[in-house]
A and B are shown apart, each in its own frame.
Chain A
Amino acid sequence: MNRSSANITKRDFLKKCLAVSAGAVCLPRIAFTGTLSTWEQQKYRKLAMYQEETPRGIMCRICPNECVLKEGELSQCNNRIVHDSKLYTMAYGNPCSVNIDPVEKKPLYHFFPGSRAFSIATAGCNLVCLNCQNWTISQTGPDKTRNFDLMPDKVVNEALKNNSRSIAYTYSEPMTFFEYVFDTALIAREKGVKNIVKSNGYINPEPLKKLCTVIDAANIDLKCFNDTTYLKLSGGKLQPVLDSLKVYRDAGIWLEITNLMVPGWTDNAEETARMCKWLSGNGFRDVPLHFSRFHPTHKLQQLPPTPLSVLNNAVKTALSEGIKYVYTGNVPGSEVSDTKCPSCGTVLVSRIGFSVTYNSIRDRKCSKCGNSIPGVWS
């Protein structure tokens, strides 16, 4: 053998070491993503609803992202994958977060006040909010989280066992585990357990209408009223959310809306006024509106919490636009949390924190003037 070709110089050795190191860094990732179809993961897969074959691939029709996926590709929400030319959800029966919360924490103030909600979430979300307080589950997929084994019937049984009046599909985005929500809600309904979705409202009308046949209440995040901000802050669009609100309203689902006031992003007084005007003019006057205080989280850690004056001004704006039930959240001690009769001003439901200390609503009516108070009270 030629000596020069057989010998490796120190320098070549060093270069090869560096190349191997770089390869070692890259390979685990490729290897990891190549093991997506293990049997264990198959167990939590289900044929996805609302899929459509297109010349470019399989289109997921659940949300306005409308991902078109080829074989093996993952959807933007990290929950859906194409296998054998069919779209599957990977989030079915494998929630990563399970808690029991007061229903007021969702927040839902006009829906079985003082009750508890058995709350579940799988990993995955169709938006990428810079201020997501659940980023550890929303910005990843169910194949990367530690999950519980909770098939739909088991979820309902657990909710009953824990004396929960309802099941809340929350924390991440329930529309990304649509099939799991739908099947669980169907069983829950049969067993008298209510169903709540806490959602960003980023869903197409057709699947939403289907979902509305099995759910009882929803709290929708209306993040802001500006398309540019929606895109920058969350990677989504405003119009689909507004369309969703109308679907919920028309379907007769109990609806409450949350607006998180992020300083410098979504707390512009003029924008708040426009949002309230739109809500008022589109039949949402009776829908409770929650203005929530922002606290620095995830990527937005250089912002201060929302000033109380901003929240209080937003409440005034909403009331002046004719929205009847307006609350503030995340400000213990300074919250606007009591439900007052819009007709006579009597305090009907008094709340401290997540607890209801007083409730005088009888038969959905004000105990003093008899005015009808919308909500699901008992």
Chain B
Amino acid sequence: MSERVAVTGAGVVTPIGAGYESFRDGLRSGRSGVGRIRAFDCAGLSTQIAAEVDHRQGDLSAWVEPRTSAKLMSRAAMFAAAAAAMARRQALLGRDGVDPRRLGVVVGAGGMGPTDLDLLATQAQAAIDAAREVGTGRWDVPTFARLFTERTNPIATLRGLPNLAAAQLAIQHDARGPNATITTACCAGTQAIGEGLRLIQRGDADVVLAGGTDAAVNPVAVLGFSLLGTLSRCNAEPGRASRPFDRQRDGFVIGEGAGFVVLERESFAQARGAPVLAELAGYGVTCDAYRITDERPDAAEAAHAISLGLRDAEMEPRDLGYINAHGTGTRMNDITETRAIRLSLGAHAADVPVSSTKSMIGHLLAAAGAVELAATLIALTEGFLPPTINLEDPDEECDLDYVPNVARAASPTAALSTSFGFGGQNACLVIRRW
């Protein structure tokens, strides 16, 4: 029998708190992290709300090493550095605790729009000034190129690389083993952790820092998702905007942040006496192969991903005591996901509590699955299930137990977290008490 894989640390940067304890307390109290957008002037936009990480979460650059790295980091890379460092600290894995070549990194990253607001502003201003200078009012590349070159610090352009966060983590942690970036949109964080599990099972690494990060509270992403009709416009009451499974929902709320876990081969963790939070027991991944933004109405492949995860964990549906849903708060997701859970769990579906922590922290896109795995770990180890807040008028097509509005005391022995992405990728992770 192959060795198990232990989760020995978890670190998060979220709109309701940075760090495991702060996030746990936020989940327990059912607090919303959604507010009016502060990152830029959102006046006139159809959506003016987001779940942002702000100064209340502390100076995240303090987690970054070496010190010069911070200026090369996108906001998402900074979140990743902080969350990963927190996870490693919780795992009590010191600098010399692992052979650098046996330490891997897998990051879910890359969202919609630019990664750097300053760079976007520089580009936009150069385009405007170029049009003014040429006098035609049209996009003039040669003039734009000259202005952009004059005004842009070369290092700012580096922040746009999708693999930057993974590279920075490798430098900070001297991780010279496998290093990968997964860019499957809203599914990326879950897939990154699943592929981290596989790296260890294949014998390619002893320890993997795996997670996801995203920082899409920028005008291009907000406008882009608005054009696609996916964002809530509940500007008047931000705290009530994210309402998965509720009949009054009108789309998701963009969130930002990062989640990372430390994964270790069982014998490695035991040999160093590591504190173990849980076993990462299973991973299932499929693709709808259907349409870019529509999910398969019958939810067959989403359900199959859940079945694969359970099979990978050698578990039956009745073993599950909690599901952290993708639960975006779009009508299509909520109904299809409910169907997928019914299809994969059969009669047991009605008995499993399912909640969407996106009701509190919004949709963290490429980071969502990783932060939600951290929430699932908390459900497994802290004696309570995080609620789905704002669930006041349940959609009749969503007929599971969604842990409405208040956290519930419970001690599940195994739990599942799901993620589904634009593009049709479906993935889930299964964790179990150690």
Q: Do A and B bind each other?
A: no
Interface residues of chain B, those whose CB is within 8 Å of chain A, are: none
